Structures are given as structure tokens and as C-alpha cells.
Amino acid sequence: MDRQRLDKWLWHARVVKARASTAELVASGHVRINGTREKSPGHAVKLGDVVTVALDNSVRVLKVIGFAERRGDAASARLLCEDLQGGKE
């Protein structure tokens, strides 16, 4: 797998709790891919993309380093992204 839908990836990486809220977050313009605002939850992300997400009181900058077929636990989610603001996420 070399690409995955943005909403699925954000959900699998445990950036959000529900996939539906991911779609709302993207559609409302709170997500950027490589610095460009993305409006489509179905946009494909690929390895090396930098995803910026504006959440309630914070902004997360994550580099895509992996994909998953299913949503796993927190340890599995840490294998999908690298937090570019501090450490491994």
C-alpha cells in the first residue's frame, strides 16, 4: 500500500476519535497536506507527505511514514507518523 485516503489515515493514526469527525475537520479547512489546504476527505496521502491538523487548542504537524489496514492501538498508531514538532508520535 503506497497511498491511503486522508480521513482513514488520520483515523488510523489516532489524530481524531471518529472517522466522521475527520471528514468534518477536512471539509472545514483545518487540514493541510504539504502546506496546501485540503478540502476532500478522500484525498490520497502518500509516504513522506506532511499533514498539518488544526485541532481545538493545538496544531499538529505529522509526517506520513506508514499505513494500516485497520485501526489499532496507540502503539500501532505511533508507527504511522512522525511528529515534526517534537518527537515520534
Q: How many domains does the chain have?
A: 1
- 37-84 pLDDT, tens digit per residue, is 999 999 999 999 999 999 888 999 999 999 999 999 999 999 999 999
Question: Is the residue at 74 inside a domain?
Answer: yes
Within a domain: 36 = yes
- Rounded to whole angstroms, the Cα distance separating 26 from 79 reads 22
Q: Is the pTM of this model over 0.85?
A: yes
Residue 89 lies in a domain: no
Q: For residue 56, is it within any domain?
A: yes
CATH number for the domain spanning 13: value is 3.10.290.10
Give domain status of residue 38, yes or no.
yes
88 domain residue, yes or no: no
pLDDT digits (tens, 9 = 90+) for 45-58: 999 999 999 988 89
| DSSP characters over the chain | --EEEHHHHHHHTTSSS-HHHHHHHHHTT-EEETTEE---TTPEEETT-EEEEE-SS-EEEEEE----SS---HHHHTTTEEETTSSB-
**Structural domain boundaries, residue 46:** 3-83
